[in-house]
Amino acid sequence: MSYSTVEEKSEASWLPPWRSFLKGVVKTAGITFLGTTSIISAVTAGGLLGLAVSFRNLPDVRMLRTYVPKQTSYIYDIKGRLLSTFHGEENRKLVSLDQVSPYLKLAVIAIEDSHFYEHQGINPNSILRALRANLRQGEVVEGASTITMQLVKNLFLSHERTFSRKLPEAVLAIRVEQVFTKDEILEFYLNNIYWGHNSYGVQTAAESYFGKSAAELTLAESAMMAGLIQAPEQYSPFINYQATKKRQAVVLRRMRELGWISPEEEKAALAEPLLVAKPTAWAGSVLPFVTDAVQKELEKYFTPEEIERGGLYIQTTIDYDLQRMAEVLVREEIRNLAFRGVNADQIALVAVDPRTHFVKVLVGGVDYQKSQFNRATQSNRQPGSAFKPFVYYTALATGKYRPETIVEDKEIVYQDIQGPYEPKNYDDEFLGEISFEKSLVISRNIPAVNLGQVRWGEENKILLDKVIEVCQTLGIESELMPIISLPLGSMGVTPLEMAGAYATFASNGWHSQPTLIVRVTNREGELLLDHTPEPKLVLNPWATATLTSMLQKVITEGTGMPANIGRPAAGKTGTTSSERDVWFVGYVPQLAVAVWVGNDQFQPLGKNITGGQHAAPIWRKFMLSALQNEPVEYFPNPYDFPIPEG
């Protein structure tokens, strides 16, 4: 950003030469001469500077060098498409003076302070005129504020109209003029003032009223905008278009009287219709479940004060097209489930890229307008058998189990703190001795519970203690306790946690913290937050590859066959014993996806409702669309890695 030097501040470089109004003679009622103005200016300024000694506690105006007003923050998708904006009370986007239309600069100066480029912060003629009016009334009824005085009032002082406030205002205005150039002061002013409808600063106002940048404003639009400053809501075109046009005419007439526009330009601008847009201050998000979650994640890295200050530019990990496709699919599938007699009112879907652990899709429910609760990130629901892969991986990582290892599917009773606990299979039958792999592929419950109680290691702990450690390593933050039924998914987790954890299986043990944010910068492009992936190998490669080969068979020959997409894929069904939640969580090397189907009131979904029959088909439809332009990729072969010693 470049400004005029102090020596140049009497010349506005953005003004066309033939419109320069800095003639050396001020046109006030056509009779005030330069000599008289200069004498009054000197006397008034000198007197006020003398009073400055009594104002030692006034703010240091040099703080404006580093002052940054509150601004709006912007959220974009992975490809830079705007998803949403958010802000506190002040909806503002800062721009430099050269990004403002010359027409608007002329219009504002004409109606607010036509001698702005001549005075040193105060206009003595206006002061004398206002002083006479105020003395007659015994109170402040007329102001004499220059643009500089308005600026210091907005930034440093109260807005009360009192004599006692006017003196500090004038002193500060003179101080500001001594430190900053005229162009700098005008830029501060245009970026700080209120333009109505929660729009602060000229850029936000231009976007709100006309859907364009401040640089693109025409003469007619500029005159309307300048007219708003005195009373933004009173002259708002959204409230009273006729009042807007009358105020616009006042501004244009003043510009013509000053010789800054011709009568023909004035007439043409008056005749031009104002094609106003609509207020943007509280515009909604195009992906509200996503942007709500993004703002929540920001709270991990920025203080409330930093978020309130705004000016953040957030690039998210979300793929807009993929997200939109998923949202449409979820709405279609909830209707399909109802048609099939399933008592479900919600679906959540999360997709994570295993190569980066970037969240590509996050659908928190069927309809954000009806419920803003984000089931993808906030709802802890029992995952059922979709939890078993964590148990089977942990068992494999001990080195004591192979896919062909024999486990027992027999009746057993455990003593729990609440009494006897007898695990059951979904079909209430027992298969006796079966292979470790088959017990997972066809989702037998009893072998999974038995595995959790196996003692291992020098400390002779049960396997479930290690399972919980593995889950925490994979990013599951929901509380997990080593209760006997944990292998059956009896403790709640979120769909985001499940998708993120399975993404680490998909990457064969390489893990990054799942995130919705790629990076955050400020207005100057300074990097404030960088989530460039730094994956770490957190799982045993052989155990992970072996688990994946087993989970592939879940889809090709087990409970997850409705999820078959015709390419290498692995996954696991999940159904709670009460049939309140059904899941399918699965992956290919490029994408891991969790689908949850349930009911907000925790009511049963119906009889014989399973993850394989009701969640897996939704997963399949999503994956077929998401991967249609993706090449087929293959998982690592377990034989390429050493088996851990048991």
Which structural domains are found in the chain, ordered by start? 323-513+540-640 (3.40.710.10)
Those residues with Cβ within 8 angstroms of residue 592's Cβ, 6 or more apart along the chain or in another chain: 351, 352, 353, 354, 499, 500, 502, 503, 505, 506, 585, 586
Task: Specify the pairing of strand 591-598 against strand 581-588.
Answer: antiparallel
385: annotated active-site residue: yes
Angle (deg, nearest 10), helices 241-257 and 219-228: 110
Closest listed residue to residue 394, CA positions, set 277, 314, 480: 480
Query: Computed from CA positions of residues 236, 153, 127, 222, in that sequence, does the dihedral angle turn out positive or negative?
Result: negative
pLDDT above 80 for 61: no
pLDDT at 443: 96
pLDDT at 30 over 50: no
Q: Give the SS3 label for residue 336.
A: helix
Q: CB-hemisphere CA count at 13 Å for 525?
A: 0
Is 112 considered catalytic here?
yes
Q: Which of 41, 101, 112, 222 is catalytic?
A: 112
Alpha helices (runs of H) in 21-138, residue ranges in sequence order:
34-51, 102-112, 124-137
Of 297 and 49, more confident: 297
Tokens found for residue 388: 């078993």
Higher pLDDT, 233 or 325: 325
H/E run at residue 570:
strand 570-575
| Mean local confidence (pLDDT), 545-553 | 98
Q: What residues pair up with 595 in beta bridges, in sequence order?
A: 349, 584
Spatial contact of 225 and 195, defined as CB atoms under 8 Å apart: yes
Instruction: Give the Cα separation of 314 and 380 in Å (integer).
Output: 27
> Using CA atoms, how far apart are residues 233 and 440, in angstroms rounded to an integer?
66
32 pLDDT above the threshold of 80: no
Q: Please, are residues 611 and 582 in contact by the beta-carbon 8 Å criterion? A: yes
CB 619 within 8 A of CB 574: no
- The model's confidence at residue 555, banded by pLDDT at 50, 70 and 90, is very high
Distance CA 111, CA 320 (A): 45
Q: Shortest CA distance to 107 belongs to which of 212, 4, 195? A: 195
Residue 208's pLDDT band (cuts 50, 70, 90): confident
Under the banding of pLDDT at 50, 70 and 90, the label for residue 145 is confident
User: What is the three-class DSSP state of 331?
Assistant: helix
> Of the spans 41-55, 147-161, 200-214, 481-495, which averages the highest pLDDT?
481-495
d(CA 603, CA 161): 62
Q: What percent of the chain has pLDDT over 90?
A: 65
Give the pLDDT confidence score for residue 56 in this predicted structure.
58
β-bridge partners, 575: 582
Question: By percentage, how much of the chain surpasses pLDDT 70?
Answer: 85
**Cα angle at 328 between 611 and 376, to 5 degrees?**
55
Nearest to 140 by CA among 148, 153, 151: 153
Q: Quick one: how many helices (H) and strands (E) in the chain?
A: 21, 20
Contact predicate 306/334, CB 8 Å: no
Beta strands, E only, 94-208? 199-200
Q: Lowest mean pLDDT: which of 142-151, 208-217, 420-429?
A: 142-151
The rounded mean pLDDT for the chain is 86
63 secondary structure, DSSP code:
G
End-to-end CA distance of the chain: 66
Q: How far apart are CA 544 and CA 18, in angstroms?
A: 77
Token duo for residue 401: 């189990």
Angle at 521 between CA 517 and CA 523, to 5 degrees: 145
Active-site position among 236, 285, 385, 512 = 385
- Cβ atoms of 505 and 593 within 8 Å: the answer is no
Compute CA distances 607 → 86, 247, 346, 489, 613, whole Å: 45, 69, 18, 19, 12
Q: Distance between CA atoms of 254 and 190, rounded to whole angstroms?
A: 19
Q: Which residues pair with 359 in a beta bridge?
A: 352
CA atoms within 13 A on the CB side of 452: 25
Residue 8 has pLDDT above 70, yes or no: no
Say which range, 79-83, 156-160, 340-344, 540-544, has the weakest mean pLDDT: 156-160
pLDDT at 138: 55
How high is the pLDDT of residue 615?
A: 97
- The identity of residue 584, as a single letter, is F
Tell me, what's the pLDDT at 11? 45
> Measured between alpha carbons, how far is residue 559 from residues 162, 173, 220, 399, 573 in Å?
79, 77, 68, 26, 7
User: Which pLDDT band, with edges at 50, 70 and 90, does 34 fall under?
Assistant: very low
Q: pTM for this structure? A: 0.77
The HSE-up count of residue 376 (CA atoms within 13 Å, CB side) is 33
Q: In this structure, what are the phi and psi dihedrals at residue 266, rounded to the nearest 5 degrees?
A: -60, -45
Residue that is written with structure tokens 């292998």 in the block = 487
Please tell me the distance from the alpha carbon of residue 113 to that of residue 126, in angstroms, as a whole number: 10
CA distances from 517 to 134, 298, 506, 554 (A): 57, 8, 21, 33
Average pLDDT over residues 462-489: 96
pLDDT of residue 375: 97
Q: Other CB atoms closer than 10 Å to residue 434's CB: what's the count? A: 17
Q: What are the CA-CA distances from residue 271 to residues 32, 101, 107, 266, 525 (Å)?
A: 34, 20, 17, 9, 42
Position of tokens 């979120």?
A: 494
Virtual torsion, Cα 446, 449, 455, 461, nearest 10 deg: -170
Q: Distance between CA atoms of 160 and 568, rounded to whole angstroms?
A: 72
